[in-house]
Structure 1
Amino acid sequence: MKELELYIHIPFCVRKCAYCDFLSGPAGEPEREEYLEALVKEIRSVGDMGRGCQVSSVFLGGGTPSILTPEQIGGILYAVRETFTLAKDAEITMEYNPGTGESERMADYLKTGVNRLSIGLQSADDGELRILGRIHTWKEFLKTYEEARKAGCDNINIDLMSAIPGQTLNSYERTLEKICRLLPDHVSAYSLILEEGTPFGNWYEKSPHPAGHPPLPDEETERQMYERTKEILHGYGYERYEISNYAKEGKMCRHNIGYWKRVPYLGFGVGAASLWKEKRWSNIRDRRQYVALWKEHKPREASRMIRENMQMISVREAQEETFFLGLRMMEGVSESRFEDTFGCAIEDVYGKELKKLEADGFVQREGGRIFLTDRGIDISNTVMTWFLQDEEEEE
C-alpha cells in the first residue's frame, strides 16, 4: 500500500503570541464545537482518496490542539480510523502547549491513540517567555512534561527558540542544559523569524532595538547560539538529522521526514495544505466560511468549495522540491531515488550546480547521496536557491 500522511489543523489558542503568524486565535466552546463538526465531515469526505494507501503518520497541529478536551481529540481520531487505513505503528503527534490542557488528564489524551507529544516550551527563562507572549512558565512546563512521562508517553519533542529579544548566549545555554537534563526524545531548535504583520514584525522591522522593547541579539550572538545548539545537544547524545531537529536513536519525527521526502499528505481544517498525485492545494483560511460551507452544502460540494490555490506541479518543480527539501536532512538526497522517480540522472538536471557547490565546499557526494557540508548548512538558504535559479535564467 502507498504511504500517506495526514495533517489536522486546530486553529484555536488562548492568546496570540507576539511572534506568531500561524492561522490561529481565541474562540469560545460553541465555536470550537462547530469547527470540529465541520472538520470531521471533511475527514470523512475524502475516504476514496485513501484507498490503496496506508497512513503512516497523523499530526495534530495548530494553533493549540491541547486546548481541546481528550474527548474532542478522540472524536477526530475516531473519524480518521473510520476513514483511512492506519499503519499498526502509525506515529500520531499532538502539539501540546503548557497552560492549556489539564495536565492531570494527560493519560486520557494518550488513550485516544496519541503516541507522540510536541510540547511548545520555547525558553526555560520566564522573562523570555513573557517577552514572547507565552501563557506558561518554566514551572508549568515542567508539570506538563512530568505528567506526560508519568502517563507513559515515551516519545516527546520539545520546541525551543533562539534569537529571542533580550536573550543572551548564557541564558540560551542555560535553557539547552535544562532541557537536555530532562532527556526528551526529540528537540526542535529554531531561530526566531520576524514575520510581517506580527507585533514582533512591526516592532523590529526598522531597528533591532526599538524604543520600549528589548533588543534582538546581534548576528554574532545568534551565530554562537546556533553553534552551541549543535555542541550541547550532541554532548547529550542527540543526533542531528535535519537542519533544526535533533533526536535520540529511533526517535526522529517520521511525519516531518515524510514531508521532506515528499510523501503524499492530506491536510484537514482551515488553511491546511495537501500534496496528492503531484497536485497541490490549500483550504480556505476563513474559519467562519469553512464552517458555513460544511453546514450548507453536501460533503462532495463542500469538499470542492473549501479548496483553493489548486495547481499541478511540473516535473521541474518536483525536482526542485526534492532538492531543497531533501537537503534539509543530514542524509541528503538519494541519487538512485531521484533517478527512479524522474527517469533521469541528477547530473542531467543539476550537473553544473552540483559541480560548483562541490568545488566551493558546500555540498558533498558520498555513498550515492548528496548532502550539505557544515559550511553548506551555515548558508543553507543560499545553497537552496541554486536549484531554483537555473529555471529562472532559462525564462
Structure 2
Amino acid sequence: MESLGVYVSIPFCKSKCTYCNFASGVFPLASMDRYIDRLEEDLRSIRSRAAGWKATVPEIVDTIYLGGGTPSLLSPQQMQRLFAAIRREFVVLPGAEITVECAPGQVEDATLASMVECGVNRISFGVQSFVDAEAKHTGRLHTCEVALRDVERVRDAGIPHINLDLIAGLPGQTPDSWRRSLEMLVGANVDHASVYMLEVDDDSRLGREMGSGGLKYYAPHVPSDDAIAEMYLAACSFLEQHGLNQYEISNFARAGAESRHNLKYWTRAPYLGLGLDAHSMLRSEGGAAVRFATGDELQPFLDTPGGGEARTLSSQEEMEEAWFLGLRLNRGVDLAAMRAEFGAAATGEFESVLVDLECDSLIAWIGDRVSLTERGRLMSNEVFARFLLEPAVS
C-alpha cells in the first residue's frame, strides 16, 4: 500500500534572516492558535477536497516534517494539538520519520519534552554558520556555543537523528571561517548535514541592498560566485572524508540516515503539504500526478479555509520532473526505469540533450545511468532547464 509524507509549514519566526524571502515572518503570537485551528480544518477536509480534484490520499503516513519558519516556537499545547490532528486523520506508522526544524536557542525545555512525547525522532537545526559574527550579520540569534549546547540537549532528550544546516557564501565568510564551521559540524557527530550555496532573493533585505549598494546588511561582503562554489566543493570533500556521504546536491548523511521525507520530493512519491505556501503532490486513480499549493500571505490563509487549485500534470510534465528531480540525487536517473514509465520514444526526445550535457562535462552517462558531475551540480539549474520541453503546438 502506498504511503504518504506530510509536510506542515509553520511560518512564525522570532526574527527574519536578511537573505530570506520565504513565506515566514514575525507575526503576532495570537495568530499561532488560529493557525493551528486552520491546519485542523484543512486536515479534516483534505479527503473531500482531493476527491473533487480526482486525487487519492493514502491513509498510511510514514514521514512527517514540520518546516518553517521556526516550528520550535510552537507551545507544547500547540505541538500536541497538531500531532493529534494528524493522527486523527491518518495512520502514522510506528517507525515513521518525524522531523521538526528548530532554530538554535529557541527550543524551550517544555517544547522539547512535548516533541519527544509526540514521537519526534529527527531535529533539523538551522545553524547556517558556527562563526558568531557571520550568524549575527544575517539576523540569526544564536552563537556557536548555543548551537552546540542545543545539539546535546536534543540528544540527551532521546531524539536520535540530527541535521545541521550550513550556508556557503554568507557576508564576511572566508575559506578559513567556512572550514571552522565544517569542523564544528563534524565535531558535533550528527548523522546528517545540509549545505546550501547562498541564494539571495531580490526582494529580501540583503537582496535589495545588493542592488542599491547599501551597507546595513553587509552586502559588499558577500563572497563572489566563484568563491561560494569553491566553499561548496570544499564542503563536499570534507564531509565525505568524515563519513557524511553526499546523496543529493545539498544533502549529506551517514549510511541509513538520509532524510526519508525529502527523498519523497526527489522520487515523486505522494506528499501532502499543509499551511502557508505549502505544496502537495498526490496521485489520481489513474496514477497521474496532481499538484496543488496554498497561498503565501498569512491573513488571507487564516480567513479562507480550504482553497488552492489543483492541476493534473501531463505525461510530458511528469517526464520533465522525473529528469530534473531525479538528477538532484547523486545516484541520478535510471534510463530503464524512465523508458518503462514513459516509453522509449518519449525518453528518446532527450538523447540530444544528454549528448550535449555529456560533452560539456555536466553529466556522467554510463549505460542506463545518468548523473550530474561535480561541475553539473554547481550548474544544476542550467542543467535542469535543458529538460523543460517546449509545449507542443496544436
TM-score by length of 2: 0.91
Indicate conservation of the 8 Å contact 2:197/2:229, yes or no: no
Q: What is the aligned partner in structure 2 of residue 362 from structure 1?
A: 362
User: Residue type of the partner of 1:271?
Assistant: D
Aligned mate of 1:291, from 296, 302, 305: 302
Q: Which shows bigger deviation, 337-346 or 349-358?
A: 337-346
Aligned mate of 2:211, from 205, 209, 213: 205
Q: What is the aligned partner in structure 2 of residue 81 from structure 1?
A: 87
Q: What is the aligned partner in structure 2 of residue 282 from structure 1?
A: 293
CA distance in 2, matches of 1:225, 1:236: 16
How far is the alpha carbon of 1:326 from its aligned partner? 0.7
User: Residue type of the partner of 2:134?
Assistant: E
How far is the alpha carbon of 1:104 from its aligned partner? 6.3
Indicate conservation of the 8 Å contact 1:103/1:143, yes or no: no
Aligned mate of 2:65, from 37, 45, 59: 59
1:271-293, Cα deviation, whole Å (9 max, x unpaired): 11111222222112232222223
1:111-160, Cα deviation, whole Å (9 max, x unpaired): 11111110110000111111100121112112211100101111100010
| 3-state SS of 2:106 partner | coil
Q: What is the aligned partner in structure 2 of residue 94 from structure 1?
A: 100
User: Residue type of the partner of 2:90?
Assistant: F
Q: What is the aligned partner in structure 1 of residue 196 from structure 2?
A: 190
Size of the aligned set, in residue pairs, is 381
CA distance in 1, matches of 2:340, 2:181: 44
Q: What is the aligned partner in structure 2 of residue 71 from structure 1?
A: 77
Q: What is the aligned partner in structure 1 of residue 286 from structure 2?
A: none
Q: What is the aligned partner in structure 2 of residue 391 from structure 1?
A: 390
User: Residue type of the partner of 2:308?
Assistant: R
| 3-state SS of 1:99 partner | coil
CA distance in 2, matches of 1:134, 1:368: 45
User: Residue type of the partner of 1:281?
Assistant: F
CA distance in 2, matches of 1:394, 1:38: 42
Change over 3 Å in CA distance of 1:7–1:105 after alignment to 2 = closer
Q: What is the aligned partner in structure 2 of residue 178 from structure 1?
A: 184
Q: What is the aligned partner in structure 1 of residue 272 from structure 2?
A: 266
Q: What is the aligned partner in structure 2 of residue 338 from structure 1?
A: 338
CA distance in 1, matches of 2:345, 2:182: 42
Q: What is the aligned partner in structure 2 of residue 380 from structure 1?
A: 380
Change over 3 Å in CA distance of 1:331–1:382 after alignment to 2 = same
Change over 3 Å in CA distance of 1:35–1:247 after alignment to 2 = same
Q: What is the aligned partner in structure 1 of residue 263 from structure 2?
A: 257
Change over 3 Å in CA distance of 1:345–1:2 after alignment to 2 = farther
Indicate conservation of the 8 Å contact 1:166/1:217, yes or no: yes
1:307 aligns with 2:308: yes
CA distance in 2, matches of 1:52, 1:248: 30
RMSD between aligned residues: 2.1
Structure 1: stretches of 5+ with no match in the other structure: 294-301
How far is the alpha carbon of 1:328 from its aligned partner? 0.7
Change over 3 Å in CA distance of 1:367–1:146 after alignment to 2 = farther
Structure 2: stretches of 5+ with no match in the other structure: 51-55, 284-288
User: Residue type of the partner of 1:279?
Assistant: V
Q: What is the aligned partner in structure 1 of residue 114 from structure 2?
A: 108
Indicate conservation of the 8 Å contact 1:107/1:148, yes or no: no
CA distance in 2, matches of 1:42, 1:292: 12
User: Residue type of the partner of 1:369?
Assistant: R
How far is the alpha carbon of 1:53 from its aligned partner? 4.1
CA distance in 1, matches of 2:231, 2:3: 37
1:130 aligns with 2:136: yes
1:194-235, Cα deviation, whole Å (9 max, x unpaired): 10211100111255xx44535111233222211210121111
CA distance in 2, matches of 1:66, 1:279: 31
CA distance in 2, matches of 1:270, 1:182: 32
Q: What is the aligned partner in structure 1 of residue 6 from structure 2?
A: 6
CA distance in 2, matches of 1:393, 1:42: 36
User: Residue type of the partner of 1:72?
Assistant: Q
Change over 3 Å in CA distance of 1:224–1:360 after alignment to 2 = closer
Change over 3 Å in CA distance of 1:233–1:337 after alignment to 2 = same
User: Residue type of the partner of 1:216?
Assistant: V
| 3-state SS of 2:247 partner | strand
1:233 aligns with 2:239: yes
Q: What is the aligned partner in structure 2 of residue 35 from structure 1?
A: 35
